[in-house]
Amino acid sequence: MAEAELLELSLEACLALLRGTAVGHLGFVVDEWPIVVPVNYRMVEVGERRWLALRTRPGSIIDRAPFNVAFEVDGIDAAHRGGWSVVVRGTLHHVDADAAGFRERFDPEPWILAERDSWLIIDPVLITGRQLRGAEPEWAFLAEAYL
């Protein structure tokens, strides 16, 4: 079998994956313990600036998250033992949804709409990504599959 390889993704590849995904995981520390929660989001780009926008319930654990956060999206190809991951490290900010057309341009359209009135953005500090290309068998059909 050919060797598997772990590749670093370019910033442009990371941004393309962030644009093409709607669900990720938000990570932060609460009471000295890390927590990771799934969220749906929208990537917003204005000129050279980019943000990840999300909505949550006022007072929820996400709404009370600290300033420094991590955000991750990924894709898995279990059949080929491969996949990719993009991690965004940044700062979490509450925003006024009615300011400067924010509601129309930034709305992540949460899957659960009820009470999702707390609007947040992640302002990226660092965006990195990796791709694992799984090992490929030397033959399309392995003899072991027939035994």
Q: Residue 97 class from Cβ within 10 Å (0-12 exposed, 13-18 middle, 19+ buried)?
A: middle
Mean pLDDT (the chain, rounded): 85
Coil, strand or helix: which one is 2?
A: coil
Give the model's pLDDT for residue 78: 82
- Residue 88 pLDDT greater than 90, yes or no: yes
Rounded mean pLDDT, 98-114: 65
The per-residue DSSP string of 72-113 comes to EEEEEEGGGTEEEEEEEEEEEEEE-TTSTTHHHHH----SS-
Residue 58: HSE in the Cβ half-sphere, 13 Å Cα cutoff: 5
pTM over 0.85: no
Q: Is the Cβ–Cβ distance between 22 and 38 less than 8 Å? A: no
- Residue 16 pLDDT greater than 90, yes or no: yes
Per-residue pLDDT tens over the stretch 27-47: 999 999 999 999 989 898 888
The label of the residue with tokens 């938000």 reads 26
- Residue 87 pLDDT greater than 90, yes or no: yes
CATH superfamily to which 5-135 belongs: Electron Transport, Fmn-binding Protein; Chain A (2.30.110.10)
Q: Which of 113, 17, 11, 5 is nearest to 56 (CA)?
A: 113
* Every domain of the chain and the residues it spans: 5-135
Give the model's pLDDT for residue 80: 76
Q: Which residue has the higher pLDDT, 91 or 119?
A: 91
Give the model's pLDDT for residue 147: 57
Rounded mean pLDDT, 121-143: 80
Handedness of CA 30, 36, 42, 44 (dihedral sign): positive
Give the model's pLDDT for residue 41: 92
What pairing do the DSSP bridges indicate for beta strands 118-133 and 23-30? unpaired
The single-letter DSSP state of residue 47 is T
